[in-house]
Structure 1
Amino acid sequence: MNPQDAQKAALRAPEKLAATHELEPFECGVPSLDDWLKRRAWRNEREGASRTYVLCAGNRVVGYYCLAAGSLVSAHAPGKVRRNMPDPIPVMVLGRLAIDRAWKGRGLGRGLLRDATLRVLSAADVAGVRAILVHALSDDAKRFYESCGFAESPTDPMTLVVTLKDVKTALDL
């Protein structure tokens, strides 16, 4: 499906990566994010390293994110995140989030972050999760996450963290 036809197709709600999804046409403009989806997402699914969720027009992937369980050493967490928490702090890692170039500027990134947050909140009902952690790949990505309530790690300005409470507020959940 070419990009013009894909834009005419209705977007489906984000869903778990499946064999029917068309990955090859995906191009967000960041080669490492494009390659990860096309070359690593399935392997990570099979090995249990992460779970990938996709936003599709028809079967063509136009956006995706992945989640993995993780932890954060207290010294690397902003004060609000580490307060009254064990060391290390249980977090959910938002490993990737990307939107196809043809679909940028429509609020889909924020929509995927909202979906990811809802899934993290559901997981937090089963196992302890204090926050969501992301490693921003660019200053633009960093600004996006900061606009959604994420704060810098005191040890790495491109590592951003947000408590579940704060991201719920920022995304009006």
Structure 2
Amino acid sequence: MTAPSRQIEPLDKRHDRSAFACGSEALDRYLKQQARQDADKHVAAPFVLVYPPATRVLGYYTLSASTVCVDEIPETLTRKLPRYPLLPVTLLGRLAVDQSTKGQGAGTFLLMDALYRALSSATQIAAMAVVVEAKDDQAAAFYRHFNFLPLQPDPHRLFLPMNTIATLFEG
């Protein structure tokens, strides 16, 4: 017998969020109380990790359109960019994994799905990078492991250029 296949889906009413616990009260509360409202209002697009046919949420992330000031990006990268004061990016606003799945690669699975969706969307709605705002040093280290770079002046605000993301999915 094979293990159930995990899937990432847009959050909807059938997903069971009630038991989700990642260890961060703010991230738990967001999923349980705010994520559906944000989706309905087109403020954020929440995606959830499930093992179908089960609907229990085991992880989630959100994506939304955003901008960064050109001054926040290292000068070595801005040399090749237009001189716009604000640059379009995709914001990976939240990413959390239920404690029952920690250490099983769920965070990486969610991140790669988010990066792929951001890259796919960038062909239709421009975004030059994915930006994250890590909640603490541990979260920042997670993103740096995947080559995210710090934005100035906040070391917990990180970005990954879309060209770098594209190389992850070549071939």
Query: What is the letter of the counterpart of residue 148 of structure 2?
Result: F
Q: Work out the CA distance in 2 between the residues paired with 1:107 and 1:168.
A: 21
**Aligned equivalent of 1:82:** 78
Runs (4+) off by over 4 Å:
none
- Secondary structure, counterpart of 2:142 in structure 1: helix
Structure 2 residue ranges without an equivalent (≥5): none
- CA separation of 1:34 and 1:80: change in aligned 2, threshold 3 A: farther
Q: Which residue of 1 aligns with 2:131?
A: 133
Three-state SS of the structure 2 residue aligned to 1:42 is helix
TM-score (norm 2): 0.90
Paired residue secondary structure (2:65): strand
Q: 1:157 to 1:60 in 2, by over 3 A?
A: same
For residue 93 of structure 2, the aligned residue among 77, 92, 95 is 95
Q: Is the 8 A contact 1:151 1:160 kept in 2?
A: yes
How many residue pairs get matched?
165
Provide, for residues 81-111 of structure 1, a one-character-per-residue CA deviation record: whole Å limited to 9, x for no partner: 5331322010000000000001011111111
Q: Provide the secondary structure at the position in 2 that maps to 1:61.
A: coil
**Higher alpha-carbon deviation: 97-106 or 82-91:** 82-91
Identity across matched positions, percent: 35
- Residue aligning to 1:71: 67
- Measured in 1, the distance between the counterparts of 2:24 and 2:5 equals 22
Tell me, what secondary structure is at the counterpart of 2:50?
Answer: strand
Residues 6-155 of structure 1: pairs in structure 2 closer than 5 A: 10-57=4-51, 58-83=54-79, 84-85=81-82, 86-155=84-153
